[in-house]
């Protein structure tokens, strides 16, 4: 199987699990907005959003290092050594978290103290095991775990919100249950205990994993700053209802992240395995051009559909959420493109460069957030995020060019950029009926701009799917 087919195959597997699962959360959005007040939704969203800030410190990012090293481990002994040492670091980190958490939580008297503790442990146990399964090249099990998590989460959310009416607690309880279910299933499916060998615990292996993972701690925190600091500043200068509206608004640009993350998971695996190939630069440059055209044209294609969905299904306090979507969508597009470039840092194990580029973007976000959000509320969040992700993208273009011979085919990008500009005009000026017409036309244009990708997918399907 050639490289392109391997990328497509892995992407399809991830699509069947990840996209189908994540879209359930999007479908449930009307239920959340109907049964949760914007203040209640905003409070739980703040707690869940805090996880990416706290977790890297205590997990020491072994969730990333275990994946990276398992990907290239060739023998069972190597895999056992990698997993056992990663597990030791992971358990140690969570133990420290448990010791520190309750005194601080009880002293501060914040809401959902015990539930958040269980949510933290269950979530990162699930993430750790998912990364192990992915590193073992068990892509089907990895994708299936995402789908099972979403199904359990969705069913319990519906039951707990509509039945007992638990409110914000239902979101945490449902997520805990989903994480525990997939953790048990992944452990049983892969017989993960067979890779545990305490005799293989060594300082050298732990140092190797920490050398890769530790620079990712401030990197991950910087990502949190870029993506989530705005929520905390917003709630400080305005109120929880504004953050509730922002949480709903984020569901739409997160579609870009969701769709692209499926491909990016497959892409990074192939960049790692192909990094020493002679034609790696050509392979990467073709991928970057195609991915950029796809991301920009998909953003244009989704905007009218999002406005139609918003106007037809979301009302009450959340009815104006659509106004802020385009800036956040463009920011998410820059985010996806920067992540695409970041695959080079992972493959080359130059995580310190990933840290530097992300910190610059985070600093930009901090300054803009404190200036713009007090003045412009949700608009300030959208602007600061869009600019910060754009800064990250352009810095990474420069830095990745120092690792590989990076060449961007700019003429191929112009049609998709023009399409996005026209779509923004349509989005803000035309009524819902013209939005429907525009959505249909944009689908055709998007298919045309991505015709090579569509053709490749079609040829792959004809060769590999038998009816």
Q: Which residues contact 423 (CB under 8 A, 6 or more apart)?
A: 299, 300, 301, 303, 304, 438, 442
Q: Is the pTM of this model over 0.95?
A: no
From the centroid of its chain, how far is CA 111? 26
Residue after which a domain boundary falls, among 214, 229, 253: 214
From the centroid of its chain, how far is CA 246? 17
Q: Is the pLDDT of residue 21 over 70?
A: no
State the Cα–Cα distance between residues 351 and 215, nearest whole angstrom: 6
Same-domain status, 177 and 307? no
Same-domain status, 180 and 230? no
Same-domain status, 170 and 63? yes
Region label for 284, one of left (φ > 0), alpha (ψ between -120 and 50) or beta (otherwise): alpha
Same-domain status, 398 and 460? yes
Same-domain status, 231 and 271? yes
Percent of the residues in the chain that have a pLDDT greater than 70, as a whole number: 93
Q: Is the pLDDT of residue 150 over 60?
A: yes
Per-residue pLDDT tens over the stretch 371-387: 999 998 889 999 999 99
Which residues form the domain of 126? Answer: 1-214
CA-based radius of gyration for the chain: 22
pLDDT, position 388: 93
Same-domain status, 97 and 164? yes
State the Cα–Cα distance between residues 375 and 373, nearest whole angstrom: 5
CA-to-CA separations, 451 to 96, 222, 239, 417, in angstroms, rounded: 52, 36, 46, 16
Scanning the structure block, which residue is given the tokens 């869940």? 48
Q: Is the pLDDT of residue 276 over 80?
A: no
- More confident position, 239 or 395: 395
Phi and psi at 417, nearest 5°, equal: -65, -40
Same-domain status, 16 and 160? yes
Same-domain status, 242 and 155? no
Residue after which a domain boundary falls, among 166, 191, 214: 214
Residue after which a domain boundary falls, among 188, 214, 240: 214
Region label for 391, one of left (φ > 0), alpha (ψ between -120 and 50) or beta (otherwise): alpha
Q: Which residues contact 295 (CB under 8 A, 6 or more apart)?
A: 256, 260, 333, 336, 337
Over residues 16-35, mean pLDDT: 70
How many domains, the chain? Answer: 2
Q: Is the pLDDT of residue 193 over 80?
A: yes
End-to-end CA distance of the chain: 21
Same-domain status, 297 and 406? yes
Contact 341, 292 (CB under 8 A): no
The two structure tokens encoding residue 150: 């979403």
CA-to-CA separations, 280 to 82, 108, 454, in angstroms, rounded: 27, 52, 23
Q: Is the pLDDT of residue 467 over 50?
A: no
Same-domain status, 110 and 207? yes
pLDDT, position 263: 82
Residue 193 class from Cβ within 10 Å (0-12 exposed, 13-18 middle, 19+ buried)? Answer: exposed
Scanning the structure block, which residue is given the tokens 């020491």? 60
Same-domain status, 178 and 238? no
Measured over the CA atoms of residue 179, residue 182, residue 186 and residue 187, the dihedral's sign is positive
State the Cα–Cα distance between residues 123 and 135, nearest whole angstrom: 18
The two structure tokens encoding residue 5: 């087919």
Q: Tell me the three state secondary structure of residue 431.
A: coil
- More confident position, 43 or 89: 89
Candidates 33, 35, 39; CA nearest to 238 is: 39
- Which helix (H) or strand (E) is 409 found in, with range? none
DSSP 62-108: HHHHHHHHHHH--SHHHHHHHHHHHHHHHHHHHHHHHHHHHHHHHHH
Candidates 149, 183, 166; CA nearest to 21 is: 149
Same-domain status, 263 and 395? yes
Highest mean pLDDT among 67-76, 173-182, 319-328, 448-457: 173-182
Over residues 300-322, mean pLDDT: 83
């Amino acid at each position: 199987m050639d490289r392109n087919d391997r990328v497509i195959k892995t992407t399809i597997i991830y699509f069947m699990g990840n996209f189908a699962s994540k879209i359930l959360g999007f479908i449930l959005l009307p239920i959340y907005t109907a049964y949760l007040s914007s203040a209640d939704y905003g409070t739980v969203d703040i707690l869940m959003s805090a996880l990416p800030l706290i977790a890297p410190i205590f997990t020491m990012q072994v969730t990333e290092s275990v994946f990276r090293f398992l990907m290239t481990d060739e023998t069972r002994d190597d895999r056992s050594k990698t997993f056992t040492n990663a597990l030791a670091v992971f358990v140690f980190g969570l133990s420290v978290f448990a010791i520190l958490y309750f005194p601080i939580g009880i002293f501060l008297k914040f809401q959902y103290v015990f539930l958040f503790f269980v949510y933290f442990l269950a979530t990162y146990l699930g993430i750790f095991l998912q990364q192990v399964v992915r590193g073992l090249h068990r892509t089907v099990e990895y994708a299936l775990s995402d789908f099972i998590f979403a199904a359990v989460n969705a069913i319990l959310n519906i039951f707990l919100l509509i039945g007992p009416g638990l409110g914000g607690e239902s979101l945490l309880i449902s997520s805990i249950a989903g994480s525990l279910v997939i953790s048990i299933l992944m452990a049983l499916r892969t017989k993960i205990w067979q890779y545990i060998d305490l005799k293989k615990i060594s300082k050298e292996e732990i140092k190797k994993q920490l050398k890769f993972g530790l620079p990712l701690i401030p990197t991950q925190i910087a990502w949190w700053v870029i993506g989530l600091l705005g929520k905390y500043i917003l709630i400080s200068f305005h109120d929880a209802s504004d953050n509730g509206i922002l949480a709903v608004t984020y569901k739409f640009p997160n579609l870009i992240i969701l769709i692209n993350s499926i491909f990016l998971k497959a892409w990074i695996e192939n960049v790692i395995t192909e990094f020493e190939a002679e034609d790696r630069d050509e392979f990467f440059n073709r991928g970057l051009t195609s991915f950029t055209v796809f991301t920009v044209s998909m953003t244009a294609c989704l905007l009218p559909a999002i406005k139609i969905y918003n106007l037809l299904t979301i009302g009450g306090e959340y009815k104006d959420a659509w106004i802020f979507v385009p800036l956040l969508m463009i920011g998410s597009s820059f985010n996806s493109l920067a992540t695409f470039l970041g695959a080079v840092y992972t493959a080359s194990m130059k995580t310190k460069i990933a840290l530097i580029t992300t910190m610059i973007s985070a600093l930009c976000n901090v300054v803009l957030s404190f200036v713009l959000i007090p003045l412009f509320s949700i608009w300030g969040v959208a602007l600061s995020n869009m600019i910060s992700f754009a800064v990250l993208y352009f810095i990474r273009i420069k830095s990745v060019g120092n690792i590989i011979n990076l060449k961007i085919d700019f003429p191929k990008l112009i049609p998709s950029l023009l399409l996005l500009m026209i779509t923004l005009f349509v989005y803000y000026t035309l009524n819902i009926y013209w939005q429907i017409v525009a959505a249909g036309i944009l689908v055709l244009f998007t298919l045309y701009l991505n015709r090579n990708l569509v053709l490749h997918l079609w040829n792959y399907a004809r060769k590999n799917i038998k009816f």
